[in-house]
Amino acid sequence: MKPHNARLWTITGVAVAVIAIAIFAIGRISRVATRGVVTNRADFVGADACASCHKTESASWRSSQHAIAMQDAKPGAVLGRFDSASLTNDGITSTFFRRGNRYFVNTDGEDGALHDFEIRWTFGVYPLQQYLVELDRGRVQALTTAWDARPAEQGGQRWFSLTSDHGEPQDPLHWTGRRYNWNYTCSDCHSTALRKGYDERTNEYRTTFAELNVACEACHGPGAKHVKWARYPSLLRRTFWKDDGLDARLTERRGVSWSTDSQSGLVRRSAPRPADHEIDMCAQCHGRRLHIAEGYTAGARMLDYYVPVILAELYYPDGQQKEEVYNYGSFLQSRMYAAGVTCSDCHDPHTAKLRMPGNNVCTQCHVAAKYDTGKHHHHIIAGTTGTCTSCHMPMTTYMDIDPRHDHSMRIPRPDLSVSLGVPNACNSCHAGKDANWAAAQIRAWYPNPMPGYQRFADAFASDDRHDSSAAASLARIATDSTEPWLVRASALGRLAGRTSPLALAAARAQARDSRPFVRLAALQIAEGFGAAERLELAVPMLSDSTRAVRQGAAWVLAPIVGSLRTANERHAFDTAAAEFVASQRYNADQPGSHIVLGVFFMERDQLDLAEAEFRAALRIQPQMAQADSGLAAIARARKGAAAPVR
């Protein structure tokens, strides 16, 4: 990230069935040893218990990719060819073979020599399947070779490499390195109620989960209380015990209808969406975010456990997906989100598939006679042309073969491709034409084209160019209540590091916003100012209702703790600071978290603690420049403290 907005964002964080549990399952504890990874959660009862009452939902879920997001490596689950097939990448040949019903790969290990490694689990299923190997200290690693599960006629049914650079042993990019560590990187999105369980003292993982895959309780929360509730006769439940014991309240669609104006084609929800519980629940996995605390279960507030990323380097300046950001940040900037749409308006929550095929999912709300016609889209309806998604949700391919729709649901803007160099849906199909041609076509079809819902492209592009004039535009966006809250937070985040009155005014205006992510973004701006401004903005947020905001306040106030005026303020700081340290300890398997703690302790003049953190970072990643710089700064600070006062 750019120097002026990188710091706090790095620091604050560097489906499926309704549950009614059979009485016989009450209090069941599932414990399955897997040599380092175990399940052991008494408050979770498992998908099989749910199926006894919810047969239809269970059958739908079992047809979904959620149900097979992670599986034991056994016949029927393993899709790849383990018949001595091999793949050579960057000079290393990996060979895949079987011994009975056990699956192995012969490839280079951490010592650079070839070894046989047993495949313990499958990871994902389509369009590719990855494979997991268990190493020492509870580490589970994903191979960088994967199986292309697409049909052969589409180029599939082959082994391929996810990276052109195999990586050297001991390198983070080697398959045994940090980037491909399952425990930290990807485990909590492919299992239910996962607890990473990293022990910093022993450098070991004791990772646990309630279920190996993404099961019912991943979205509805632990079911043990629901089991007890289900024991009572239905009359008593309706009369006295109405609380069904489930923590996750996914009720945004209940009792809601949509109506469409036949003339304008505009669609309106019968009542505003009361909350974002369902969207946040999906976002725990379907969003680019940073994990800041252990213990998330469905129904918990997102920013107590995760911090989403802003619309910056991972996105194009107009908000289109660039890196693999999944769906959450894209959807939050869309007109659909603003109108009250939820994930399950389009996707069946149990199968995870679209509720209706093709354009029909859109014409649930948008009048087909107006929009699903050549007069609107000017394309022949055949193949991918003429589909709503081809124009409004263009795809970007990640992991070589996995195309993902952009969920910002935008109007095609080839004119922005001309002026800002961003992609556009037209040229993603018409690759032989340029953006000027596409823009001319849009003007011919629509002489007065609509600008679209996302209006921040010019301001964000100006900021990306480091234009001094960007601050005024960013401040305007940050304080515009008609902009989506993620956009406002992103504008604030981009203002961080600027010491202009505009930036400070924007921070003051948004410091009490109803959205915690906006409040957190406003805190960043305080870092560019002195003690008075830091105290003004951050002290009230020490007692914020949201963990991520409290931690942000502790970070901003760390250099000026002595300026806190009352015992209550100091107590609030100590509490928030303890949460901040705990958050970094949760990610202590990453060198960046030790760097963050080192800086935090240095700012509080706790030099011994800071030194320990910088050295811990170097143990994880030797020759880490930030850690070396931190140690040098500590040495200078100690030398200065020892020098005689003149």
Q: Which residues pair with 211 in a beta bridge?
A: 192
The answer to whether the CB of 580 falls within 8 A of the CB of 551 is: yes
Could you tell me which residues come within 8 angstroms of residue 424 by beta carbon, excluding any fewer than 6 positions away? 394, 412, 413, 414, 416, 417, 435, 438
Cα separation, 117 vs 130, in Å, equals 14
What is the DSSP code string of 35-65?
SS-EEE-TT---HHHHHTT-HHHHHHHHTSS
What is the DSSP code string of 565-580?
-SHHHHHHHHHHHHHH
Q: Count CB-CB contacts under 10 A for residue 557.
A: 28
Q: What is the pLDDT of residues 550-562, one digit of tens each?
A: 999 999 999 999 9
Could you tell me which residues come within 8 angstroms of residue 253 by beta carbon, excluding any fewer than 6 positions away? 278, 342, 344, 345
Q: What is the pLDDT of residues 285-301, one digit of tens each?
A: 999 999 999 989 998 99
Q: Which two tokens stand for residue 613?
A: 């953190």
pLDDT of 13:
35
Q: Which helix (H) or strand (E) holds 457?
A: helix 457-464
Is residue 382 classed as helix, strand or coil in its secondary structure? Answer: strand
The owner of tokens 């009452």 is 53
One-letter-per-residue 3-state SS of 506-543? HHHHHCCCCCHHHHHHHHHHHCCCCHHHHHHHHHHHHH
Residue 341, Cβ density class (10 Å: 0-12 exposed, 13-18 middle, ≥19 buried): buried
pLDDT of 241:
73
The owner of tokens 């589970």 is 140
Q: Which helix (H) or strand (E) holds 88?
A: strand 85-89
What is the DSSP code string of 464-490?
HTT-TTHHHHHHHHHT-TTS-HHHHHH
Which pLDDT band holds residue 114 (cuts at 50, 70, 90)?
very high
In this structure, which amino acid lies at residue 337? Y
Residue 29 clears pLDDT 50, i.e. is over it: no
Which pLDDT band holds residue 532 (cuts at 50, 70, 90)?
very high
Is residue 159 classed as helix, strand or coil in its secondary structure? Answer: strand
Q: Count CB-CB contacts under 10 A for residue 383.
A: 9
Closest Cα to residue 90, out of 167, 171, 172, 174?
A: 167
Cα separation, 636 vs 105, in Å, equals 50
Q: Which long-range contacts (CB under 8 A, 24 or more apart) does 631-638 make?
A: 633/602, 634/602, 634/607, 634/610, 637/602, 637/607, 638/607
Phi/psi of residue 354, nearest 5 degrees: -60, 145
Q: What is the pLDDT of residues 583-642, one digit of tens each?
A: 999 999 999 999 999 999 999 999 999 999 999 999 999 989 999 999 999 999 998 876
Q: Which two tokens stand for residue 286?
A: 């379907």
Q: Which two tokens stand for residue 188?
A: 């909590």
Residue 646 clears pLDDT 80, i.e. is over it: no
